Amino acid sequence: MLQLTKPRFLKQKNMLRVLYALAPIALVSVYYFGWRILAVLIVSIFFSFMTEWVMVTRRKRKISYACFVTSALYALSLPPTVPFWIVAVGAIIGILFGKEAFGGFGKNVFNPAIVGRAFVYVCFPIALTAKFVPAFRGFPGGFGAWSMTALDQLPPYLRGTGMEAVNAVTAATPMWARRDFGYLTDLGNLFTGIIGDSFSTEGTQRILAAGSAGEVSFVAILLAAIYLLMTKTANWRLMLSPIIGAVALNVLLRNILGIEAVPPPAFTLLSGGFAYAAVYMVTEPVSAPKLPLSQWIYGLFIGAMIVFFRYKAIFAGGVAFSILLGNMIAPSLDMWIKRAKARNIQRGAS
């Protein structure tokens, strides 16, 4: 019978700095969506911690601070009104099969937060895509509400539109609205995160939902990126390369090949979880390659795949699956480049 020992922690300053960078994102998320976001974070952290605690006890090792980073990243990547039991399932799967199955911290091939997010997205697509809501505005915003799940909790700018609460809950995010209804969300709103206008398509009035909790405010993510780069917590090549890859393929498909189904580059960068992933997910040091050239290729590949999935896949996002594909090729990239350099040295010597 397994007996849990007193938790011992592997102290990691880099992981603490990532948590510091996530704290403002969490605060902004509460303002936009209500205090329920804090409950989602607590559920995710609890089940992530318990899963890792059980596993490290079996191996007589310490709990890494990365566990809390994973749980926070995963929680903030979810819709604001996601059921708590789904939060728990994804947190357990992310830690157990995204990290502990490979031997624990430092040995995982895949980003654990993405593993958990992709799992619940594939297994419970209806439950997740129906849980997006508009963002609160003004003061006190979401600080004065639990969540936008009742008719009397609709923000003032949506009251009187004739929309039922259930319609707000099943509203389209900017990605879905653009792809399915041709509605392009204002770029200024995407930059700040104030997303939630009503729009009409084919005579039907709809409400625009904001998206996942942590991804909606580009300006908040940008400030976090500056902090992570200034403290040398995140690798600038891993952060910049997916942006270049996405813009390059976007321009190729839309501006050169004339494929109108591909949105403008600015919309691609500001919408969905692109910025959130580029700053926090792609830069995850364990699952990313280690060589500079590998990092460029890795990031370019992920950025391009995000654009491709958004264009061709059933899902309107594609960020999680792009990163998982990148994680798969990361070790091989380092190996191929090392071998190529070794062959060049041998040829030079001969």
Give the pLDDT confidence of 214-265 residue by residue, as tens digits.
888 889 999 999 999 999 999 999 999 999 999 999 999 999 988 888 888 8
Residue 229 exposure: Cα atoms within 13 Å on the Cβ side: 13
329 occurs within a structural domain:
yes
Q: What pLDDT does residue 241 have?
A: 96
Residues in the chain: 350
Distance CA 150, CA 94 (A): 31
Beta bridge partners of 63: 9
- Phi, psi (deg, nearest 5) at residue 10: -90, 105
Give the pLDDT confidence of 44-100 residue by residue, as tens digits.
999 999 999 888 888 778 888 889 999 999 999 999 989 999 999 999 999 999 998
22 occurs within a structural domain:
no
67 occurs within a structural domain:
no
Q: Where does residue 155 fall: left (phi above 0), alpha (psi -120 to 50 degrees), or beta otherwise?
A: beta
Give the pLDDT confidence of 197-213 residue by residue, as tens digits.
777 776 677 778 888 88
Cβ(283)–Cβ(239) below 8 Å: yes
Distance CA 100, CA 9 (A): 16
Beta-carbon count within 10 A of 296 CB: 18
302 occurs within a structural domain:
yes
Residue 75, H or E segment: helix 66-76
295 occurs within a structural domain:
yes
296 occurs within a structural domain:
yes
133 occurs within a structural domain:
no
User: What residue numbers bound the domain in which 305 lies?
Assistant: 233-349
The total of structural domains in the chain comes to: 1
Q: What pLDDT does residue 271 have?
A: 85
Tracing tokens 């691609």 back to the chain, one arrives at 268
